[in-house]
């Protein structure tokens, strides 16, 4: 009896598999398992042998699916990546892509290989060190005073925690400073999509600001290694600040940009103190990291002091851009009505 039922199940599988557009598809298998579930409960060697044959027939069908195809591609990629390049020692590994995408090879102006993947040569620039660092937006109304004293209040715990450890202080500052540009650019991007209108270049400007601040962080990571509790503090502060700034920008963009403007003024002050510590010998003026030399197009013999000067100049430009954006809103205009200062580093 068990043998007959097993044979019946196998015949139904074969017949339904041939009728389907995809032999032994998931639909055919589910149908057989639902209609003939009782057959799997019968004992007998013939029944067990039948299900072993069924599983063996099912595996090749699943191997032809998209998931299996990805697995095959992954194996090919793995073998290609693990094989050493022709004439090499195995260190130069190449990635084979199923999608036909090959990593682009970029060279410097002198023909040497560009070793940074996070940014490209055309994204580098020479810092404008002649920018006025003493400019300050006066607090002329309640909104300005609220923004100014909010930033001053935020500085108090920072001074207490980091004191005069300006390397770690700079790293902490940049993890927060890279948030406003990203949040503002994202919200303007969504607004542009909703209203079917251009942004006047402000989306790109704000995203450039966020990327520039992130490159500051990548640079200082080479100079100062954060402790575990400083990393934990970054998680906490960034999480709180991101959500707070997101809500603030939705409520009042002019206040949000004004706060960032005053934050950048405080950043200028912090980096000025950083330079004083270097000049006084309290912080070693080590050679500039290679990433900083390539990003700011600095001379090969540049030092940490040169890097801090470049970063401080960037912060001064971000100060001007955000105060300018706030002024546009305060005058009753939209950002898209005024061309954005693209490439203003």
Q: What is the pLDDT of residues 38-57, one digit of tens each?
A: 444 444 444 555 554 544 55
User: Mind listing the pLDDT tens digit for each residue in 293-329?
Assistant: 999 999 999 999 999 999 999 999 999 999 999 999 9
Say how far apart CA 193 and CA 15 lie, in whole Å: 52
Picking from 61, 140, 152, 117, the residue whose alpha carbon sits closest to that of residue 326 is 140
Q: Quick one: pLDDT at residue 29?
A: 39
Phi, psi of 256 (to 5 degrees): -65, -45
Picking from 267, 271, 291, the residue whose alpha carbon sits closest to that of residue 279 is 271
In DSSP terms, 107 is beta-bridged to: 113
Q: Quick one: pLDDT at residue 150?
A: 93
Say how far apart CA 242 and CA 180 lie, in whole Å: 8
Say how far apart CA 198 and CA 130 lie, in whole Å: 33
Token couple for 92: 């130069």
Distances (CA, A) of 137 to 141, 316, 326: 11, 12, 11
Q: Does pLDDT of 67 surpass 70?
A: no
Distances (CA, A) of 48 to 51, 162, 176: 5, 71, 63
Phi, psi of 110 (to 5 degrees): -85, 0
Give me the domains of the chain, ranges plus CATH numbers: 142-337 (1.20.1260.140)
CB 172 within 8 A of CB 220: no
Q: List CB contacts of 106: < 8 A, sequence separation 6 or more.
A: 113, 114, 120, 121
Report pTM. Answer: 0.70
User: Mind listing the pLDDT tens digit for each residue in 126-172?
Assistant: 999 999 999 999 998 999 999 999 999 988 887 777 777 777 778 77
Across the chain, what does the average pLDDT equal?
78
Token couple for 283: 């912080």
Q: What stretches of the chain show up as alpha helix (H) in DSSP? A: 2-19, 26-35, 45-63, 66-82, 142-162, 166-195, 202-223, 228-251, 253-279, 290-295, 304-330
């Amino acid at each position: 009896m068990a043998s007959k039922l097993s044979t019946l199940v196998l015949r139904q599988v074969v017949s339904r598999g041939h009728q389907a557009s995809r032999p032994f598809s998931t639909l055919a298998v589910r149908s057989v398992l639902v209609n003939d579930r009782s057959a799997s409960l019968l004992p007998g060697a013939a029944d067990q042998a039948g299900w072993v044959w069924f599983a063996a027939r099912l595996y090749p069908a699943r191997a032809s699916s998209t998931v299996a195809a990805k697995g095959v591609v992954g194996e090919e990629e793995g073998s290609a990546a693990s094989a050493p390049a022709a004439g090499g020692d195995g260190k130069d590994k190449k990635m084979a892509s199923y999608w036909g995408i090959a990593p682009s090879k970029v060279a410097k102006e002198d023909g040497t290989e560009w070793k940074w993947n996070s940014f490209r040569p055309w994204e580098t620039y020479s810092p404008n060190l002649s920018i006025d660092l003493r400019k300050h937006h006066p607090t002329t109304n309640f909104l300005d005073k609220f923004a100014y004293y909010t930033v001053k209040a935020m500085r108090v715990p920072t001074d207490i925690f980091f004191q005069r450890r300006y390397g770690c202080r700079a790293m902490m500052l940049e993890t927060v400073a890279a948030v406003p540009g990203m949040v503002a650019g994202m919200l303007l991007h969504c607004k542009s999509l909703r209203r079917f209108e251009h942004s006047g270049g402000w989306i790109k400007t704000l995203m450039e600001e966020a990327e520039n601040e992130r490159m500051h962080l990548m640079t200082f990571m080479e100079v100062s290694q954060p402790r575990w509790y400083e990393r934990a503090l970054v998680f906490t502060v960034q999480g709180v600040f991101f959500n707070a700034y997101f809500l603030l920008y939705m409520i009042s963009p002019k206040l949000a940009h004004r706060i960032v403007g005053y934050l950048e003024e405080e950043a200028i002050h912090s980096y000025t103190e950083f330079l004083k510590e270097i000049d006084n010998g309290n912080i070693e003026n080590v050679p500039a990291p290679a990433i900083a030399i390539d990003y700011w197009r600095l001379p090969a013999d540049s030092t940490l002091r040169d890097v801090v000067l470049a970063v401080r100049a960037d912060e001064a430009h971000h100060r001007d851009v955000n105060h300018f954006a706030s002024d546009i809103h305060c005058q009753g205009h939209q950002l898209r009505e005024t061309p954005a200062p693209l490439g203003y580093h």
